[in-house]
Amino acid sequence: MSLPADCLFCQFVDGTLETEIVGQNEHAIAFRDINPQAPLHVLVIPREHYADVAALAGADPEALADLVGLAQEVALDEADGEYRLIFNSGPMAGQSVFHVHGHVLGGTKLGWSPA
Ligand code: 5GP
Ligand code: ZN
């Protein structure tokens, strides 16, 4: 698991690495996924480092609420407010970056075949 010091997404938050920020609020930022799986594919992440969504929910529910609100804002801007919000949690579920992130997907009729 990444430590905050070498965490890719922490570096987007602190500006060490550049990414296209499409929205932000007090606790969360949103940026486009580098490998989009739908016309709208944005990642929403908390500014603070937590490994997964349960850790975030336990430690800072207000930040989780901000993150979900930001997901909806982006979807309202770009997909008429219709979207899927996914948190892959653990490698078996597809998590590859261990700074919690919600995938905001939309902009087309989405399929449903995760396995
Ligand atoms: P996970 O597999 O952990 O649920 O999602 C990680 C996501 O981060 C993937 O969808 C992947 O495309 C995205 N990603 C990985 N590296 C980068 C990067 O450098 N920039 C951006 N914008 N997205 C990235
Ligand atoms: Zn991080």
Tell me the three state secondary structure of residue 58.
Answer: helix
In this structure, the number of other CB atoms found within 10 A of the CB of residue 20 comes to 10
- Which of 34, 85, 92 has most ligand 1 atoms within 8 Å of CB, for mutation? 34
For residue range 64-113, what is the model confidence (pLDDT) as tens digits? 999 999 999 999 999 999 999 999 999 999 999 999 999 999 999 999 99
Residue 10 identity (one-letter amino acid): C
- Which of 10, 35, 100 has most ligand 1 atoms within 8 Å of CB, for mutation? 35
What global pTM score does this model have? 0.96
pLDDT at 5: 74
Does the pLDDT at position 3 exceed 80? no
In this structure, the number of other CB atoms found within 10 A of the CB of residue 6 comes to 8
Quick check: CB of 33 below 6 Å from ligand 1?
Answer: yes
**Gap from CA of 110 to ligand 2 centroid (Å):** 29
pLDDT at 39: 98
d(CA 49, CA 51): 7
For residue range 32-50, what is the model confidence (pLDDT) as tens digits? 999 999 999 999 999 999 9
